[in-house]
Structure 1
Amino acid sequence: MDLMYYSELPGFLENENSLHKIDSISKLSEKYHFTGTLIFHHHGSMDPWFLASRVLHTTTKLLPLVATQPYSIPPFSLVKTLSTISNLLHRKVNLNLITGVSEMELSSVHQATDPTMKYARLEEYIQVLKGLLHSKEPLTFDGSYYKFNKLRLAPYIRQEHIPELFVPGSSKDSIRIAQAHGDTALLRPAPIHTFKEEYCSRFITDSVNLGIRISVISRSNSAEAWEAARRKFPANRSGVVKAKIRKNMLSHNTKLMAELALSGEVYDNIYWMGAYLNGLTEDPFLVGSYEEVAAYLQQYVDCGVTTFLFGDLNTEEDFIHINKTLKMLEAPRKEAIS
């Protein structure tokens, strides 16, 4: 299976250069042959569907991967949006189906913070989406969160534009829902040995792809990469405090990342939680030479990972460095094909 690469648009965009930033990252993602780009949804972000529209109008093939929170858009409204994009723009949009990490945001709109309830609602949401997307028959649905009687979608979405459903998270509930209803399970990974032991065996199936969300700082040699990493994300006391707070959150993956960061900064001489401890990102980083990072990514591929979501790609220099890494990752596959 071909590997797929996604970038991400910045989560916070508040200045006069925001539109230029969106266009730049989108165009660079397409230039360097990424599959798509993640668009965030939280209370401090811009509207994800406006940003998705901008991506669609400034690129020709790049897939917006839109973070979709059930309380923010009803399932029928979402499918109407996808249908409109399909029929007017002849483009596809993928969905990253989130339940919400911030307990403060969820409470502010009177939404459940209990993980079991959040995933129960998400499961119904996905069932409604798939019922509307995959059938031309009127939908009747009687659930705890959604009820519909002979609901019909028009115009129908084109088959080639039916979205792929990403389900993020590392908890039992998120993995179960991803395997039962999703196309890709997406999580921030632990160091490779822990990842193999705790997650790989759960995804020995053809029913769902396995994706990881991780960032990379790679250079021609390891020393240069580590210098760039520590310069960009210097040690920060407030970041450590933030990690301690995250350790007590209800989100399973958030707690795992916080515990990992507080237990150690560097694993395997390449997997780095220092950026997380800086407080400006929630991603683990791989830091090293192009060869070292490619080899580490290959271990995730060997474990079953087919999709990579890379954060912290903001300039063409960032894309140039990761492109050199990914070429090394792809080289054995191209040689095997030839």
Structure 2
Amino acid sequence: MADEAPGLRLFATIPPPAQPGRYREAVRRAARCAEAAGFGGALVYSDNNTVDPWAVAQEVLAATEDFAPLVALQPLYAHPYTVAKTIATFGAVYGRRIALNLVAGGAVGDLAALGDDTAHDDRYARLTEYAQLVRRLLAGAGPVTFEGTWYRVRTLPMFPPLPAHLAPELYISGSSEAGLRAGRTLGAVPVRYPEPPGTSGDGPHGDLRGGGVRLGVIARDSDREAWALAYERFPASRAGRLAQRLARSVSDSHWVERLSAAEEFPGGPDSPYWMGPFLHHATYCPYLVGSHEKVEREIMRYIDAGCRTFIMDTARAEDDYAATAAVFDGALKRHGEPGTTRVAP
């Protein structure tokens, strides 16, 4: 589990495609910058509105030395055998480990477009079975027979075999009881979009032990400088607010509902916790904004709560990778640990 390793698992996020024909180099450059800064890997998105995540993961592997793609894995996009075959092939070609971020799918419109009307909790039951079959296929114990509710295979062999030390680590997105139950069954690291301080568990981040969070960070020498940059990058707009409300209306994800109901500054005027980018549909996670000291102290609260995995929002500039890694190094040092953030999954 993430809280058993020294240091932190720190993931960047591969940016979405922008200019056709130039995305390959954008992916490679983002991965190289993140690796050089000390990140252990990078999240690769998967949904109806982006490119194939496995093609992106291959570019990430090709561009880096010891860096793990964290591939978002949604059951509707590929059969478990296809996924296991791809992972085993990466192992044979690169000798590298990847990680999987299991997602059940929460955008009802995207699911409907694929002809899927499975209920929310049943999607997590399907996701559990899906991951179990992928894991069985990669275990290398011989041909696999699997009889489940959602998937069935008969004496299915897997080639090439995947060495045991390259078996993917599992992460799972979801804060509902169904999502948490799936994570417990699979032994996956639960990743959440952290709620406003004081709204969960016994403290501001009291329910995060052994898990991870997804957020953004903007830290500079002073609060004034950090907030100036934050408002420049994420300006408020009526159109953005309306877009966020629409996104909320077409999602049955529990975390979307909870965060959508938050105020822009739920922690008060002195807190670095900011919901502005989420509430104006500029990104899908909260931000910590302020001086290096203030942001490092807030990150310490997550670490104190047992959180050891951090998946960062998409970088807006290349120097964001080093700036973000430096904040986490500072937080670890304040926590009395060596300032080493890079722990590969």
TM-score over 0.5 for the alignment? yes
Runs of 5+ in structure 1 lacking a partner? none
Equivalent in the alignment of 2:211: 210
Equivalent in the alignment of 2:319: 317
Instruction: Give the Cα separation in 2 of the matches to 1:16 and 1:137.
Output: 42
Tell me the secondary structure at the aligned position of residue 64 of structure 1.
strand
Instruction: Give the Cα separation in 1 of the matches to 2:61 and 2:327.
Output: 27
Equivalent in the alignment of 2:238: 237
Tell me the CA shift for residue 315 of structure 1: 2.4
1:260-290 per-residue CA deviation (whole Å, 9 max, x = no partner) reads 1xx3435242100111122221110000011
Distance 1:152 1:34, change over 3 A: same
Instruction: Give the Cα separation in 1 of the matches to 2:104 and 2:15.
Output: 20
Instruction: Give the Cα separation in 2 of the matches to 1:183 and 1:143.
Output: 20
Instruction: Give the Cα separation in 1 of the matches to 2:203 and 2:126.
Output: 26
- Aligned pairs for 1:79-94 (under 5 A) are 79-94=84-99
Tell me the CA shift for residue 203 of structure 1: 5.9
Equivalent in the alignment of 1:166: 171
Q: Are the equivalent residues in 2 in contact too, given 1:218–1:293 (CA < 8 A)?
A: yes
Larger relative contact order (C-alpha < 8 A, sep ≥ 6)? 2
Task: Compute the TM-score of the two structures, normalised by the length of structure 2.
Answer: 0.90
Instruction: Give the Cα separation in 2 of the matches to 1:290 and 1:45.
Output: 34
Q: Are the equivalent residues in 2 in contact too, given 1:30–1:62 (CA < 8 A)?
A: yes
Q: Are the equivalent residues in 1 in contact too, given 2:32–2:64 (CA < 8 A)?
A: yes
Distance 1:192 1:265, change over 3 A: closer
Instruction: Give the Cα separation in 2 of the matches to 1:131 and 1:3.
Output: 28
1:303-331 per-residue CA deviation (whole Å, 9 max, x = no partner) reads 11010001131422212321331221121
Equivalent in the alignment of 1:28: 33
Tell me the CA shift for residue 187 of structure 1: 0.8
How many residues were matched structurally? 330
Q: Are the equivalent residues in 1 in contact too, given 2:128–2:185 (CA < 8 A)?
A: no
Instruction: Give the Cα separation in 2 of the matches to 1:246 and 1:159.
Output: 41
Equivalent in the alignment of 2:275: 273
- Aligned pairs for 1:24-173 (under 5 A) are 24-173=29-178
Tell me the secondary structure at the aligned position of residue 149 of structure 2.
coil
Distance 1:151 1:91, change over 3 A: same
Q: Are the equivalent residues in 2 in contact too, given 1:169–1:187 (CA < 8 A)?
A: yes
Distance 1:34 1:235, change over 3 A: same
Instruction: Give the Cα separation in 1 of the matches to 2:204 and 2:267.
Output: 18
Q: Are the equivalent residues in 2 in contact too, given 1:13–1:46 (CA < 8 A)?
A: no
**What percent identity do the matched residue pairs reach?**
28
Runs of 5+ in structure 2 lacking a partner? 340-345
What RMSD over aligned residues (CA atoms) do the two structures have, in Å?
A: 2.0
Instruction: Give the Cα separation in 2 of the matches to 1:201 and 1:181.
Output: 22
Give the counterpart letter for 1:299 in structure 2.
R
Tell me the CA shift for residue 202 of structure 1: 5.4
Q: Are the equivalent residues in 2 in contact too, given 1:297–1:329 (CA < 8 A)?
A: yes
Equivalent in the alignment of 1:333: 337
**Is structure 2 residue 230 aligned with structure 1 residue 226?**
no
Tell me the CA shift for residue 111 of structure 1: 1.4
1:87-137 per-residue CA deviation (whole Å, 9 max, x = no partner) reads 121111111111112211110111135212211211110111122222413
Tell me the CA shift for residue 226 of structure 1: 0.6
Task: Compute the TM-score of the two structures, normalised by the length of structure 1.
Answer: 0.92
Equivalent in the alignment of 2:342: none
Instruction: Give the Cα separation in 2 of the matches to 1:200 and 1:219.
Output: 24
